[in-house]
Copies of this chain bind each other. A is one copy, B any other.
């Protein structure tokens, strides 16, 4: 790749993402579609796929994200200590350079959901890595040398960094984690050349901090109007420790010049502590659980959409916002599709935030009956309201579990089929909130959870589904034994891919989901399946390495049913199928095919 000397790195990214030989961004392209026009691997020949080379990262625990490929080089990163490798595709992954940050391991205990990172960003001659310890580094893509580094947070307050950065023009956007530690979330833009902070948009607090203009920033098709909802929808100063972290995925529309991302759960998990006058109606806890569309340059909010006002279930609203043009009621809409943790899939007009479709993408979802299309609000079922049921009461049978109907695992959208291919969870929970006091750097959770497979279903804890974003309907659904925690890929060859927690890489027919190929890799897959072309041949690449929140029991050696914020019990059988690992596997067809 040719170094970019001017200010605009995304000329380079735009070029790279157009050439399907590359896998230029974590989500495949700025639209977050995880789709490739490569078509050498087809529904007919994919059965002959096989690993062609592998690379152990030298690190165990959860490997999220996936390989970035630009030209002859592949870039991968590992869980803590966040080692980055540049691998030579001309020599079976020989190491061109290795960057191994020296990070204080004291950050590990404040990472809520395993020591994951969701990968690096490459733009021109720079590679960007968000380290667990909140250091954002820019590395030279040729040498791995540090060009600059910036401190984006403070681990002693429970702040960490797991999200993949996104580069647009001369800025790199970085999120923050720590919703379970009372961290006040923000998205921050740094200058890619100097490493200087350009702006920081908080998720809670006064409009100025949130970079909202109540007269201009849209909500449901019109200006918000009322100022400082980021303060008023919270009791007293609760917004200062109110979460809304930004540890998910970021997408970008170059024409609209808007970036999209979501904010996480409000803190604490005990809703009573976040209620204004004990009144749910007054307590949206804005702007937690909100999709933000921001001007990519100024950071100013163009529109907002809060999916789960006053969260009572830890349904972080951070999942990827996939940009696609979708026909709804006969009209082509510039849409954004979001599979929220809360179990509803939203199709939204990405120009202005207007809600177009909102339907359950898992039939077991029961905490709300539907989304009111006028207000965008869920109709909450009091039986599953942990606020209505009250503190120190165990609300049982809530679906989905806190892991959501989908968590960090990104979906894929095929512009050909117009469908989304979605790795989902099929897990329910019991949730008992309790009063908790805030102390900086200490867990600020305030609920005890148990999780288990969705009752009266197939017994498994996952489904892999195809979704129609216009109709808001499941097209087909494949049951899986465990939560599907790996990002999906769809390709022009008519074949899609995802990984399973047992470690299988699976290829399926986009038409009907039929299994076309599977291979049991060394460890559970929570990474995202990517594809690229090298010397005229198509490859599939994925990281294995079980972990993440679903695999936290294995990753952190926890065995108590309610440990790992409640996730351990449900997935305890995982240890019969797989163990910790950390390996990249590259697949291809035999040469004669």
**Complex CA distance for A584 and B519, rounded to whole angstroms:** 14
Q: Is the CB of A578 within 8 A of B50?
A: no
Q: Is the CB of B51 within 8 A of A576?
A: no
Query: Most chain-B CB neighbours within 10 Å: which of A48, A50, A54, A93?
Result: A54
Given the complex, which residues of B lie within 8 Å of A93, measured CB to CB? Answer: 520
Within 8 A of B (CB), among A565-582: 575-582
Q: CB < 8 Å: which of B95, B523, B580 contacts A576? A: B95
Q: CB < 8 Å: which of B58, B520, B590 contacts A92? A: B520
Known: A56-B583, A60-B58, A581-B56. A575 touches B520 (CB 8 A): no
Q: Is the CB of A521 within 8 A of B60?
A: no
- The yes or no answer to A537 lying at the interface (CB within 8 A) is no
Known: A56-B522, A56-B544, A520-B92. A581 touches B579 (CB 8 A): no
Known: A60-B60, A583-B581. A54 touches B95 (CB 8 A): no
Q: CB < 8 Å: which of B50, B57, B60, B503 contacts A50? A: B50
- The yes or no answer to A99 lying at the interface (CB within 8 A) is no
Q: Is the CB of A578 within 8 A of B56?
A: yes
- The yes or no answer to A458 lying at the interface (CB within 8 A) is no
Q: Is the CB of A95 within 8 A of B58?
A: no
Q: CB < 8 Å: which of B60, B521, B584 contacts A54? A: B521
Among residues of B, the one whose C-beta sits closest to the C-beta of A580 is: B58
Known: A51-B51, A581-B583, A583-B583. A56 touches B523 (CB 8 A): yes
Given the complex, which residues of B lie within 8 Å of A94, measured CB to CB? Answer: 576-577
- The yes or no answer to A8 lying at the interface (CB within 8 A) is no
Query: Most chain-B CB neighbours within 10 Å: which of A48, A85, A575, A579?
Result: A579
**Complex CA distance for A260 and B368, rounded to whole angstroms:** 73
Main secondary structure, interface of A, reads mixed
Identical chains in the assembly: 2
Within 8 A of B (CB), among A552-573: none
Among residues of B, the one whose C-beta sits closest to the C-beta of A51 is: B51
Given the complex, which residues of B lie within 8 Å of A92, measured CB to CB? Answer: 520
- The yes or no answer to A55 lying at the interface (CB within 8 A) is yes
- The yes or no answer to A53 lying at the interface (CB within 8 A) is yes
- Map CB proximity to B onto A511-525 as digits: 1 under 8 Å, 0 otherwise: 000000001111100
Q: How far is the CB of A583 from chain B (nearest CB, A)?
A: 4
Q: CB < 8 Å: which of B53, B60, B579 contacts A520? A: B53
**Complex CA distance for A270 and B394, rounded to whole angstroms:** 71
**Complex CA distance for A576 and B55, rounded to whole angstroms:** 12
Given the complex, which residues of B lie within 8 Å of A575, measured CB to CB? Answer: 95, 98
**Complex CA distance for A98 and B578, rounded to whole angstroms:** 11
**Complex CA distance for A519 and B578, rounded to whole angstroms:** 23
Within 8 A of B (CB), among A261-298: none
Q: Is the CB of A54 within 8 A of B520?
A: yes
Q: CB < 8 Å: which of B55, B544, B579 contacts A57? A: B579
Show 7 A/B contacts (Cβ-Cβ < 8 Å), sorted by A.
A56-B503, A56-B522, A56-B545, A56-B578, A58-B60, A58-B523, A98-B575
User: Sorted from nearest, which 8 A-B pairs have the closest CB atoms?
Assistant: A56-B581, A58-B579, A56-B522, A50-B50, A56-B523, A58-B580, A54-B522, A53-B520
